[in-house]
Chain A
Amino acid sequence: MSAVAVEGVWKYYGDYPALRDISLEAAEGTCLALIGRNGAGKTTLLRAIAGFSTAQRGKIRICGKEPREAETRSRLGFIGHGISVYDELSALENLTLFGKLYGLADPKKSANEWLERTGLERVRNGLVREFSRGMRQRLAVARAFLHEPSVMLLDEPFTALDDRAIAVLQRLLREALAAGKTIVMSTHQLKEALELASHVALLNRGQLAFHGARTQEMVDDPGYVYARYGEGA
């Protein structure tokens, strides 16, 4: 049973198919890089896997269960385009809140731990609206990892991160992979993503143009997959 299984998924906006017959899998402990042009359907697919929207046709299973089930949601970590933390609360209050929502045994302790792991312990009582951009993004990462999810879904996580935040995220993702977690990550930043990825999937206008293991050619030349399998091939 794979960590993430997508079978024959079609997603329509009204009568327009944004995703067409997508089937892919991510085994436990692997990192799948989802690449494609803007509008190819990467965000749509990720959000469908995360359970934010329902696919009209096909099945999506996370560790064998449906995305919206409570058990699945407990082990899912999601980073979208926004940081998903509250400006008017402090860093500690934000993480404690999510700790409680995820039913952690000691929300405050976990919150403090993750503030340290993302280098935010000195601003734990500062309100998020006063944070710099890099600090906000590190807090977003802390929020996503807080409940130790076994499957992480990241939508263009490296976009607009500063160097420190990129380093923190890469370190955490590497640690997660080493611990056997699964990552599905959509990205434009091919270099950072392909370093971490074990598998690659290319989306082209809602269809899966390529799905397979990451090869050395891809790491050497990030544009390789686009050239070989994308439009203009």
Chain B
Amino acid sequence: MKYLRQVATIAVKDVRAELRTKEAINASLAFALMILLLFSYTFNPAQEMMREVSGGLLWIVFAFAGTLTLNRSFARELPNDCLDALIAAPIPGSALFLGKCFASFVLVLAVELVSLPVFGIFYNVHWTAQLPALFGVLLLGTWALTVIGTIFSALTVNIKLREVMLPMLTYPILMPALMAAMRLTTLLVTGQPIADDDMAWLKMLIGFDVIFTAVSLALVETVLVG
């Protein structure tokens, strides 16, 4: 119980601080909308091609816009040396990590939930046909993005070229999860259910989430204290 309260304290603090300044969330949202707009220039929304590319486009938007938020996750602790105070406090490193994961998860999800209707409008896609399954995939994919992004945010917090190193580390590792999420989202956004063939992708996404949450929790103390 105490552990969960500690996780919640960190998560609430991060979300509150972000909502006060809105630095990351504004940039993230603007970036997402801009990509959606730019791509609509190349794809004629009426074409059948949307059935093939919608998942890919959406997750490129989510991953790139999401990185802006994830970069802030540990970087927000740098001014005033707040990270020292958090490490010195008697909370486990894993609680600090999970608290930040949940906060980033909520913030990234918020941008995604705004992007989806915009996507539907710009590209004339009726995306609500498989809503529950779509949200499921959204949550799983966003968790993958969040976990990897947060652990590498902690890893790169003190190094030079942090804004470059975070995407460079995150995207290759995230590739299988992104591929799975893209494939599943393409199906669900265009109204098709997940067929047996594609169930394997769902299992991969879940497996990815489980494995890398475990690896992150195992290594978090090393990342924080060195």
A residues touching B (Cβ–Cβ < 8 Å)?
A: 50-54, 68, 70-71, 73-74, 76, 78, 80-89, 93, 97-98, 100-103, 127, 143
Contact = CB atoms under 8 A, between A and B. Distances in A.
Query: Main secondary structure on chain A at its contact with chain B?
Result: loop
B114 interface: no
Nearest to B20: A88
A160 B88 CA distance: 23
Given A70-B90, A88-B21, A103-B90, A53 B226 contact: yes
Contacts of B2: 103
Contact of A54 (B6, B10, B79, B225): B225
Given A89-B16, A103-B2, A68 B225 contact: yes
A86 B90 contact: no
Top 8 A-B pairs ranked by shortest CB distance? A82-B81, A84-B85, A73-B90, A101-B89, A70-B90, A88-B20, A74-B90, A82-B80
A101 B84 contact: no
A86 B225 contact: no
A76 B81 contact: no
Contact of B80 (A68, A83, A98, A102): A83
Interface in B18-34: 20-21
Interface in B36-94: 79-82, 84-92
A140 B210 CA distance: 39
A63 to B, nearest CB: 14
Contacts, number: 76
B56 to A, nearest CB: 36
Contact of A102 (B81, B82, B90): B90
A81 B81 contact: yes
A177 to B, nearest CB: 21
Contacts of A68: 225
Contact of B89 (A71, A86, A102): A102
B22 to A, nearest CB: 10
A80 B89 contact: no
A83 B88 contact: no
Contact of B88 (A51, A97, A100): A51
Nearest to A76: B88
B192 interface: no
B110 interface: no
B80 A87 contact: yes
Given A88-B21, A97-B13, A102-B90, A52 B84 contact: yes
Contact of B225 (A53, A101, A143): A53
Contacts of B9: 97, 100-101
Given A84-B80, A88-B21, A73 B88 contact: yes
Given A51-B225, A54-B226, 19 more contacts: A50-B88, A51-B87, A53-B225, A70-B90, A70-B92, A78-B88, A80-B84, A82-B82, A84-B82, A84-B85, A86-B13, A89-B13, A89-B17, A97-B13, A101-B6, A101-B10, A101-B86, A101-B90, A102-B89
Contacts of A88: 17, 20-21
A87 B16 CA distance: 12
